[in-house]
């Protein structure tokens, strides 16, 4: 049975009315998110974070006996101040003394033989002109006389060595300094040249500290002078000159051990004192950001940058030089005058419009 044709125009009209009504709905307003931000400016790098180190001797020597023997006395301990020529340890000198006594006896015997041969030489010299002895007999006397002379000289040399042996049973400091370690104990038998004590020589002092890899990449680091202050008394400061840098990083900390020579250190900067230094690198510029500004893109650090003309944000990857307790130091990826979002970064998406909650001052 056919449906009434009169309903068709009514249905078409209703559908058209619904379509027209839908076309006049307003589009949703764009999502504008309020954010906090700051305008950044690069400044000369100051090593990002303090370089904490320790005062150390510039020169350290080990003290050892020149002879083997048994240690019978050690008159200093770790921390003892010593002066040049001071006896710091002794070996059992019985053997050395006996050797000296034997050498002395050999010298006396050789001198007695020489006196006897001197008398024979004079007699031979007197008898040869009158032909009382043959030429061969004369030459034999002269040869024996020269041999006696050589014997005396050899015996005297051995006696001098024996005397030095007795002296070398005493271990003396070659210079003023402070004992920093003992490497052998009383009663121990040591070999010649075996280290017994370690001594820090007085005079020049170093600081030893670890430099982060980001700072090591700076050019002209060797020879650079930087300020150093005593950690316990920050008002006591001096300068240090970097003269040694390890070629390889520590496998655990990924830092590089460095040494710097202190220039006219205060008396309170004693060995072992903790010092804090800061190195200004005028050949490298960095930007400081709060940690809240950081996000990531493809596993790398990034920040949201606000476009001044459109008030939209774009994600930009950065390279971080180092971290401090309060800041992130950025070495590349940002330019002077860029406005960076510092709060609310996790809720943003590319090209999103934002409104600034504050007009932050330029932050170096």
Q: What is the pLDDT of residue 49?
A: 59
User: Per the confidence metrics, is the pTM higher than 0.95?
Assistant: no
Arithmetic mean of pLDDT over the chain: 85
pLDDT at 15 over 60: no
Q: pLDDT digit string (tens) for 192-248?
A: 999 999 999 998 999 999 988 767 766 567 888 889 999 999 899 999 999 999 988
- Which CATH number describes the domain made up of 51-58+203-279? 2.40.30.170
Tokens encoding 205: 């002092």
Pairwise pLDDT comparison (9 vs 155), residue with the higher score: 155
pLDDT at 60 over 60: yes
Helix (DSSP H) and strand (DSSP E) numbers for the chain: 4, 25
Q: What is the pLDDT of residue 213?
A: 76
Mean pLDDT on 330-349? 89
Instruction: Count how many Cα atoms sit within 13 Å of the Cα of residue 332 in the half-sphere of its side chain.
Output: 4
Highest mean pLDDT range out of 15-29, 154-168, 240-254?
154-168
* Three-point CA angle 136, 139, 143, nearest 5°: 140
pLDDT at 13 over 60: no
pLDDT at 161 over 80: yes
Tokens encoding 155: 């015996």
Q: What is the per-residue DSSP string for 185-216?
A: -TT-EE-TT-EEEEEEESS-EEEEEEEEHHHH
User: Which contiguous run of DSSP H or E holds residue 258?
Assistant: strand 255-263
Q: What is the pLDDT of residue 327?
A: 84
Range name among 93-107, 207-221, 238-252, 314-328 with the lowest pLDDT average: 207-221
Q: What is the pLDDT of residue 279?
A: 76
pLDDT at 88 over 60: yes
- Which CATH number describes the domain made up of 65-92+169-202? 2.40.50.100
pLDDT at 99 over 70: yes
Q: What is the pLDDT of residue 219?
A: 55
| Cα Rg, the chain, nearest whole Å | 44
Q: What is the pLDDT of residue 20?
A: 44
pLDDT range class, residue 133, cuts 50, 70, 90: confident
Spatial distance between the Cα atoms of 243 and 260, rounded to a whole number of angstroms: 6
Helices (H), the chain: 7-23, 94-127, 135-167, 213-216
Q: What is the pLDDT of residue 2?
A: 46
Q: What is the pLDDT of residue 46?
A: 56
Mean pLDDT on 125-148? 91
- Which CATH number describes the domain made up of 93-167? 1.10.287.470
pLDDT at 359 over 70: no
pLDDT at 190 over 80: yes
Q: pLDDT digit string (tens) for 276-308?
A: 988 766 556 778 899 999 999 988 999 999 998
Q: What is the pLDDT of residue 28?
A: 57
pLDDT at 12 over 70: no
pLDDT at 18 over 90: no
Q: What is the per-residue DSSP string for 56-118?
A: EES-EEEEE-SS-EEEEEE---TT-EE-TT-EEEEE--HHHHHHHHHHHHHHHHHHHHHHHHH
Q: What is the CATH architecture of 33-42+285-363?
A: Beta Barrel (2.40)
Q: What is the pLDDT of residue 191?
A: 96
> Percentage of the chain with pLDDT > 90?
57
Per-residue buried b or exposed e for 115-127, using 16+ beta carbons within 10 Å of the residue's own CB: eebeeebeebeee
Q: pLDDT digit string (tens) for 20-34?
A: 444 445 555 567 889
Spatial distance between the Cα atoms of 197 and 21, rounded to a whole number of angstroms: 99
Spatial distance between the Cα atoms of 288 and 329, rounded to a whole number of angstroms: 5
Q: Output the CA–CA distances (angstroms, integers) from residue 87 to 101, 175, 277, 340, in the order listed.
A: 23, 11, 38, 68
Q: Cβ(34)–Cβ(359) under 8 Å? A: no
Tokens encoding 172: 């003396």
Q: What is the pLDDT of residue 174?
A: 92
Ranges of each domain in the chain:
33-42+285-363, 51-58+203-279, 65-92+169-202, 93-167
| Cα 342 → chain centroid | 37
Mean pLDDT on 128-155? 92
> Percentage of the chain with pLDDT > 70?
85
Q: Considering only CA atoms, which of 175, 182, 183, 201 is closest in space to residue 56?
A: 201
């Amino acid at each position: 049975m056919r449906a009434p044709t009169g309903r068709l125009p009514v249905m078409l009209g209703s559908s058209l009315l619904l379509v027209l009504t839908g076309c006049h709905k307003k589009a949703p307003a764009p999502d504008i998110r309020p954010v906090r931000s700051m305008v950044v400016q690069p400044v000369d790098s100051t090593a990002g974070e303090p370089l904490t180190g320790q005062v150390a001797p510039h020169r350290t020597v080990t003290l050892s006996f020149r002879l083997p023997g048994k240690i019978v006395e050690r008159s200093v301990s770790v921390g003892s101040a010593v002066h040049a020529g001071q006896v710091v340890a002794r070996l059992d000198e019985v053997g050395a003394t006996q050797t000296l006594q034997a050498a002395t006896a050999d010298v006396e015997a050789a001198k007695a033989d020489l006196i006897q041969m001197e008398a024979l030489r004079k007699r031979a010299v007197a008898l040869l002109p009158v032909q009382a002895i043959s030429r061969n007999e004369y030459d034999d006397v002269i040869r024996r006389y020269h041999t006696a002379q050589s014997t005396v000289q050899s015996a005297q040399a051995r006696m001098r060595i024996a005397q030095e042996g007795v002296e070398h049973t005493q271990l003396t400091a070659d210079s003023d300094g402070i004992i920093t370690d003992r490497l052998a104990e009383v009663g121990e038998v040591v070999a010649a040249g075996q280290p017994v004590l370690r001594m820090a020589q007085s005079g020049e002092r170093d600081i030893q500290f670890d430099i982060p890899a980001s700072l090591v990449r700076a050019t002209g680091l060797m020879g650079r002078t930087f300020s150093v202050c005593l950690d316990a008394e920050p008002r006591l400061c001096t300068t240090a000159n970097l003269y040694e840098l390890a070629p390889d990083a520590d496998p655990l900390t990924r830092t590089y051990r460095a040494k710097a020579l202190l220039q006219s250190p205060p008396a309170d900067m004693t060995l072992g004192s903790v010092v804090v230094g800061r190195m200004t690198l005028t050949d490298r510029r960095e930007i400081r950001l709060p940690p809240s500004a950081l996000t990531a893109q493809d596993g790398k650090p990034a920040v949201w940058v606000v476009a001044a003309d459109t008030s939209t944000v774009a994600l930009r990857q950065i390279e971080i030089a180092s971290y401090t307790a309060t800041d992130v130091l950025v070495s590349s990826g940002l330019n002077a005058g860029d406005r960076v979002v510092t709060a609310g970064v996790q809720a943003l998406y590319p090209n999103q419009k934002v409104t600034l909650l504050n007009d932050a001052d330029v932050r170096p």
